[in-house]
Amino acid sequence: QRRGLRLSAPAAIQVTVRDALNQALDEELERDERVFLLGEEVAQYDGAYKISRGLWKKYGDKRVIDTPISEMGFAGIAVGAAMVWLRPVCEFMTFNFSMQAIDQVINSAAKTCYMSAGSIAVPIVFRGPNGASAGVAAQHSQCFAAWYGHCPGLKVVSPWSAEDAKGLLKASIRDDNPVVMLESELLYGVPFEMSEQAQSKEFVIPIGKAKIERQGTHVTLVAHSRPVGHCIEAAAVLSKEGVECEVINLRTIRPMDIETVEASVVKTNHLVTVEGGWPQFGVGAEICARIMEGPAFNYLDAPAVRVTGADVPMPYAKILEDNCIPQVKDIVFAVKKALNI
């Protein structure tokens, strides 16, 4: 207090995606004693990416569990625990390694609720970094959004900002269905503004609801995860040329909020999808198909355009890697193609 004026703290703060995820895990472990975290190096080492920093010291061996290097093994343990109403958070060091456990994720977790007519819930979260990182080559750079989004029985979320990360992880842990949460390793250290509301322990983001990050009138850009940032950068570049892009952060891959995309396309009459995954049968392909099948198709003034990763295994060399991942210039080019300018 100074000269009779109360100096209040700023409503929003800067928080990295790493810290937002850590905060969400801490709050949910504290809130519900059935929640526990397991995976490689999540306990004593504080996590391979330091997402679980401090949680083992705070909650102990029963709530934060280091596992052997066997994805099939610890994913199976986690699914079994979920079937008896514990709420495991199963961390894969990278989702590329989830292929070792894909039978547990799809055949055990995703299908059980359906096959049991709903009598067996599987409240589990599979989470970890997904898609390309930097210099980790083909075996560590795949995007699994389309893979897991293909499967009935799963919910699939893909955060971009710190608020996305916190709100979606908390919602995923509280959900009674198996949820796959696809994070970006390259975003872990990136700070985002976190609103006062998002700092609350009860802050959750509904699964299945997209967010319009930027309003626009000329073209709709739809993306998830790291490419959302590229779309916002491309929109800033195009704005200087008189083109106003509406940027939609998909947030959830399954169930997909196609209604928000449709409403935007009705307004802008043009659509560009952006993703880091391969083009064939991708998330962008699904969005384009849904738009074509629905009422928004009649409002399109030009064919939809997809911006994707290159249709090759990811190279190791940086210059080749950069050319395999969508860049801002690629999005600008796609928008101009869609608008025929």
193 catalytic per annotation:
no
**Which one of the listed residues 40, 71, 213, 262 is annotated catalytic?**
71
Residue identified by tokens 């950069």 is 322
Residue 182, helix vs strand vs coil? strand
In total, the chain counts a number of residues equal to 341
Joined together, the tokens standing for residue 149 give: 């989004």
**Which one of the listed residues 40, 91, 140, 224 is annotated catalytic?**
140
218 catalytic per annotation:
no
Which residue type occupies 287?
Answer: I
The one-character DSSP state at 95 is G
Q: How many H-runs (helices) and E-runs (strands) does the chain carry? A: 12, 14
Residue identified by tokens 């322990």 is 201
Q: What share of the chain is helix, strand, coil (3-state, %, to 5)?
A: 40, 20, 40
Helices 17-31/162-174 angle, 10° precision: 30
Q: How far apart are the C-alpha atoms of 207 and 224, rounded to whole Å?
A: 14
Joined together, the tokens standing for residue 221 give: 């850009």
CA distances from 197 to 6, 9, 163, 203, 204 (A): 21, 14, 10, 7, 10
User: In this structure, are strands 13-16 and 191-194 parallel, antiparallel, or unpaired?
Assistant: antiparallel
Q: How far apart are the C-alpha atoms of 67 and 56, rounded to whole Å?
A: 13
Annotated catalytic residues are 71, 140
